[in-house]
Amino acid sequence: MKQGSVSLRCRARYRLVAVLAATAFIIIIIIIIIIIIIIIIIIVAGGRAERLGIAATANAVAPEQSPFYISVVPTVGTPIRLGTKLGFNVSANTAGYASLYLINPQGQVTVLGENMVVSAARDLVYPSPSDGFTLAAAEPVGNNQVILLVTRQPFVNGFSGYDTLMRPVSLALRAAEFRRQLVRRAGALPRTSWAMDEIQVRVVG
C-alpha cells in the first residue's frame, strides 16, 4: 500500500511538472508574439512618420516656387448649339501667361491665344470685348477639347510663331502630335513654373 501511494504521488508530481512546463512554454510563446507585434508597430509607425516628414519637406517650398492652380470655364453652359456665341473665363491664383488651345472632334488644332497676361486678382475673359472679334460654336458637332496652359514666364516655345497671340490661328498639327509636342515643350520648363488644365465642350446641332 505504501509503495502504491508513493507511485501515485510521483505520477501526480510528474503530471504537475508537465503541466507547469507546458504552461511556461505557452507563456513564453505569447510573450514572443507580443514582442513581435510591438516591433512591427514601431517599424510601421516609424515608416509612416518618415513618409510624413518627406511630404512635409516637399510641401515646404519657397512661395515663389509653390504650385499654382488654374481653370478654364466656358462662358455659356454646355452642350452648346451651333452658332451660339461663347468665350472662356481663365483664372489662376498667381500672375502668369495663358495659352489656350482647341482640338475639335476631327482632331484639328486651333491656337486660340498664346501668352495672354493673366493675374491672380481677376479672371481673363477670352475673347474680350476689346479684341475685336467673337467666337461662335461651329461645325463639326461633337466633343471639343480646350486646353489651358499657364506659365510664370512667357511661353517662348509656343505654336503660333508670335510672342503674343490674341486671336485664333489654325495649326497643321493633328491632335496626337500636338499633345506630344505640348507635353514636351511644357515639360522642358521647371515643373513649378507651369500648370495645365483641360475641359470638354460639346457642340450640338
Q: What is the pLDDT of residues 1-29, one digit of tens each?
A: 444 444 445 555 666 666 777 788 888 88
Q: What is the pLDDT of residues 129-184, one digit of tens each?
A: 888 889 999 999 999 999 999 999 999 989 998 888 889 999 999 999 999 999 99
CA 100 vs CA 37, 72, 166: distances in Å: 56, 9, 10
Identify whether residues 98 and 187 lie together within a single domain: yes
The answer, yes or no, to whether residue 203 has pLDDT greater than 90, is: yes
Q: Is 194 exposed, middle or buried (0-12, 13-18, 19+ CB in 10 A)?
A: buried
Identify whether residues 38 and 88 lie together within a single domain: no
Report the 10 Å Cβ neighbour count for 21.
10
- Domain with residue 153: its CATH number is 2.60.40.2550
Identify whether residues 11 and 75 lie together within a single domain: no
Give residue 36's domain range: 1-60
The answer, yes or no, to whether residue 59 has pLDDT greater than 70, is: no
Identify whether residues 37 and 71 lie together within a single domain: no
Identify whether residues 42 and 84 lie together within a single domain: no
| β-sheet with 142-151: strand ranges across | 80-81, 194-204, 142-151, 96-103, 108-118, 169-174
Grid coordinates in use for 32? 514572443
Identify whether residues 27 and 88 lie together within a single domain: no
